[in-house]
Chain A
């Protein structure tokens, strides 16, 4: 018998997703994408209206994966030091002592990141890229693993500082949650708010287990045919006149690793074009800008996929 592509997730992954979906009702695709983002060692950006469960999703993931977790609510009067930490004078010892900020944690939930000024945003984004923080001439490494799960409101809302392209590029995936469907909302109404459940969540994974999962996800097989297809997609974004510019090579790498994680969470040992197509909107939408000036919409990505024949 040939090995049929399995459709069930690996046990640990299935456990995490089941637990997460019990908290975030009716959004299995989004929770899977969020998990994939972390499995692919990327930072996650969740964008949607206030009150649809962005923070809850971030919080839930951190708890289920057993990560040390810190949360920062970004505001317009926030300073970089509020995130990175400050040195204060210790009178007893007679020297300066560094008080690490919330960035020194495994999962940093940056709530409403686009409410902060660009200066504060860039302080965080530098930490995301470098994996270390430099303050007052001293460089301090961040804990491993280090994830940022940022949430932001749609940028047309009042009082926001939209993230520039270069900084958006540092988020591996961007997802939208959207309103819950009818049944999910009814369950939500019947059982009360979800935040109350969060403290009760226990970690599904032991120490170091998540790193193993990451390694397994990165080892998923990609055939030359799949890479051909992925390249065709990326090249199409560069050729099609509807986009101002195409996906960068870094974005192509992101697409590949996200597709690997998606295939891994789907229980497959190889990446299929379907996996690439599934993660492409989350990878590409915040990186592609249309000629009209707005970011690419879901229908633009669908048109992109439909324009690249697959063999």
Chain B
């Protein structure tokens, strides 16, 4: 067996750094790894820390091999695969936890660092929030600091931190250029496509009793809007979602059409409002515009029932610009098919309601609507999130017995009454109101602002909105859900926040999240185009962006080079020749100290390598004459020759 050169070992004092790296990069994955794996990882790191503390021997390789085989088998059993996102991340975490146990040479330490940088990225599969970003930034600083510690040896913590910070700061210009110019692809910034649709909430494409009051329990944000001009009155803010025109006695749905209806005709009367909305993904096509939109964002259309539909279901948070008019006439002439549908009721159900409607049939349609609203307003109806359960004749029970309900109950009872009395009517679901976040001025609309109202068709006026909830609980429309519901109703605390400071904290946090969403997560091709257009780069395609990218990075690199080059490369041929000579001597075992003068160096060489004494004396003499005396080209030539006259290495 040949003898191996003595192996260099990882410095003992550097081991805690590497363990900290392993903990910082693998630790946060504990939240979504199986428990046994988290315990294995924690145990391995603790074991290594104990060995470090005791100065003990690392475990033999065969035991580590057993551990790896066991862990991989466990992962395969748990995830039914070794491929894919979750299994892959679990494998990386296992490697990160076990590598310190076989960390002997500096090369092993480098593997840990590189694995750490890679493992950082995997966290974005699971979360892209601001705290995650901050944590990963810290972990990256720690990785860089550890790299510095490994190569630079022991030094004060402050010096390492400063150096690491400086290195990361130097990366900042490149990061900005890449951020601005690297061509974006459509789709979620991180994660595999199937991740994008998990856990989305919002209005559904049908409405049955309880569906909206369930949605209202969530304080999650549905969308945020920013108005160009003044914000309309809160009671005017009806954000239109799906329109339901078919009722089966329990559930309202949109009836599928055989033939497409003609495009809607909208006559705007009042002033219009321009605004843009950032919609959270809800996996549906409707875009929640303010009633009614007159200008649509690209790649969207106005449905015959006046809601804005995107071409594809909304699967990522997106930004849209609209213009809406609040005062309008919509579809003054409506097709008979649509009107017929707006009068259809399931047969036989709710006889008492039908009887009431029959009494009103002789009146003009406006009077019928007024009569229904007056009934809601004047009789003992209550607005509550906890209505009693209703039987098969739901409308009869609601209108004549329970009289307790939520917007969905009022809207559906109103529409039922209208249809029974011969007035075309339909249910509209959406959101009503919203709250301005004073921090960034965005109007925030939450799931708790979900609402349902009614629309009736009047000859000469078209579709007119009627909100029966406003008759029962005017404060719901004027002040919002919190004011309308009595205390004790099950609203999320997040929505109901009473303490002023908590409300402010929430507003700030949501504003920060909004900025993060828009500028980091939502920086999609469209947004990139907008930003570049503002920077004067109109209509960029990926080619011109790549060209700019290459050019700017090149300019930056050139600047860095110009800045650092003079310090590195002596321009003077005398210095170059002397440095080359000294480098040759370094290879032969005598290194010139940085501060050492030529003659003193030659003296030292004479002591260490008597065979090189004469030559070095000559070279040093030439250099001294050239640099400190009045030597000329002759000496330079001689000095350069000295380099070649050196005997070959190893003799």
Q: Which residues of A contact B (CB under 8 A)?
A: 2-5, 221-223, 225-226, 269-274, 277, 305-311
Contacts and interface: CB of A to CB of B under 8 A. Distances in A.
A274 B623 CA distance: 13
Nearest to B631: A2
B576 to A, nearest CB: 11
Nearest to A3: B625
B628 A226 contact: yes
Interface string B607-629: 00000000001100110110111
B337 interface: no
The 7 A-B pairs with the shortest beta carbon distances in the complex, nearest first, are: A270-B629, A273-B597, A274-B597, A309-B594, A223-B628, A4-B621, A270-B628
Contacts of B634: 2
Contact of B600 (A4, A270, A271, A274): A274
Given A277-B597, A306-B593, A272 B570 contact: no
A5 B621 CA distance: 6
Contacts of B593: 306
Contacts of B630: 221, 270
23 contacts: A4-B617, A4-B618, A5-B599, A5-B629, A221-B628, A221-B629, A223-B627, A223-B629, A225-B627, A226-B628, A270-B624, A270-B625, A270-B630, A271-B628, A272-B597, A272-B624, A272-B628, A306-B594, A306-B595, A307-B595, A310-B595, A310-B597, A311-B570
Nearest to B634: A2
B572 to A, nearest CB: 9
Interface of B: 570, 575, 579, 593-600, 617-618, 621-622, 624-625, 627-631, 634-635, 638
Given A5-B621, A270-B628, 18 more contacts: A2-B621, A2-B622, A2-B625, A2-B634, A2-B638, A3-B625, A4-B617, A4-B618, A5-B599, A5-B625, A5-B629, A225-B627, A226-B628, A271-B628, A274-B597, A274-B599, A277-B595, A311-B579
Nearest to B635: A2
A223 B599 CA distance: 16
Contacts of A277: 595, 597, 600
A274 B596 CA distance: 8
A302 to B, nearest CB: 10
A308 B595 CA distance: 6
Given A2-B638, A274-B599, A310-B596, A225 B631 contact: no
A308 B593 CA distance: 11
Contacts of A223: 627-629
A270 B622 CA distance: 13
A2 B629 CA distance: 12
Nearest to B639: A2
Nearest to A271: B628
Contacts of A308: 595
Contacts of B624: 5, 270, 272
A308 B627 CA distance: 17
A225 B598 CA distance: 13
A266 B596 CA distance: 18
B418 to A, nearest CB: 88
Contacts of B597: 272-274, 277, 310
A61 B598 CA distance: 32
A233 B539 CA distance: 58
A87 B540 CA distance: 99
Contacts of A270: 624-625, 628-630
Nearest to A7: B599
A277 B630 CA distance: 21
A270 B638 CA distance: 19
A309 B592 CA distance: 11
Nearest to B600: A274
A225 B116 CA distance: 48
Nearest to A311: B575
A190 to B, nearest CB: 32
Contacts of A222: 628
B598 A272 contact: yes
Contacts of B579: 311
A278 B208 CA distance: 98
Given A2-B622, A4-B621, A225-B628, A272 B599 contact: yes
B638 to A, nearest CB: 6
A252 B579 CA distance: 28
Nearest to A304: B595
Nearest to B578: A311
Contacts of A311: 570, 575, 579
A258 B221 CA distance: 81
A304 to B, nearest CB: 9
Contacts of B617: 4
Contacts of A226: 628
A72 B600 CA distance: 40
A225 B631 CA distance: 13
Contacts of A274: 597-600
Contacts of A310: 594-597
Contact of B595 (A2, A271, A305): A305
Contacts of A306: 593-595
Contacts of A309: 594-595
B127 to A, nearest CB: 46
